[in-house]
Structure 1
């Protein structure tokens, strides 16, 4: 079964078939793929930024790790950069004609 994963770094689609290894990289930007920010359990609003309560604490959320609970985030949810989207909206709103 192939999963469509959106890279947290470049927001491009990464086709993933099977297991994602710790050393796998994005073919577009060479960012690590087995990272918290690409995981379905990642949530910046909860304690330790992880919804899996039994997972070990990972300090660097954008670096490869050994978490056994890693589950690839499906669809485009991982690639949305809310901060950049809000900034673009604000710039468009206050743009001089």
Structure 2
């Protein structure tokens, strides 16, 4: 009997089951926390607290495990914060520099 896949690791994309989202659980492939903001369907950069839930308590580190009561595993989390932040910063820097040419 195989476990039902309900999501993927926010960092490496490994398939995760409901049992993989415990507070102390980590991805077996990359070792990153699975019950973290980055793995939640409510996570959205740019929103207050980077969360679609307005009543969610503020969580500073979005990649560490937390006790958020609004956590709901995302079927397909957004890309790794390291690569996406670097690309976003480069794009924003180029746009700002083009304003002053």
The verdict on a shared fold, with TM-score over 0.5 as the criterion, is yes
- State the match for 2:74 in structure 1: 73
- Tell me which protein shows more helix as a share of its residues: 2
RMSD: 2.7
Task: Go from structure 1 to structure 2 and tell me whether the alpha carbon gap of 1:20 and 1:60 turns closer, same or farther (over 3 Å shift).
Answer: same
> For 1:1-97, what aligned pairs fall within 5 Å after superposition?
2-9=4-11, 11-18=12-19, 20-74=21-75, 76=76, 78-81=77-80, 83=84
Q: Is there any run of 5+ residues in structure 1 with no aligned partner, and where? A: 88-97
Q: Distance in 2 between matches of 1:13 and 1:19?
A: 11
SS, match of residue 21 in structure 2:
coil
Q: TM-score, normalised by structure 2?
A: 0.69
Q: Distance in 2 between matches of 1:63 and 1:19?
A: 15
Q: TM-score, normalised by structure 1?
A: 0.72
SS, match of residue 52 in structure 1:
coil
Select the structure with the greater relative contact order (CA < 8 A; seq sep ≥ 6).
Answer: 1
In 2, are the aligned partners of 1:26 and 1:33 still within 8 Å (CA)?
yes
Q: Is there any run of 5+ residues in structure 2 with no aligned partner, and where? A: 89-101
In 1, are the aligned partners of 2:20 and 2:26 still within 8 Å (CA)?
no
Q: Distance in 1 between matches of 2:19 and 2:64?
A: 21
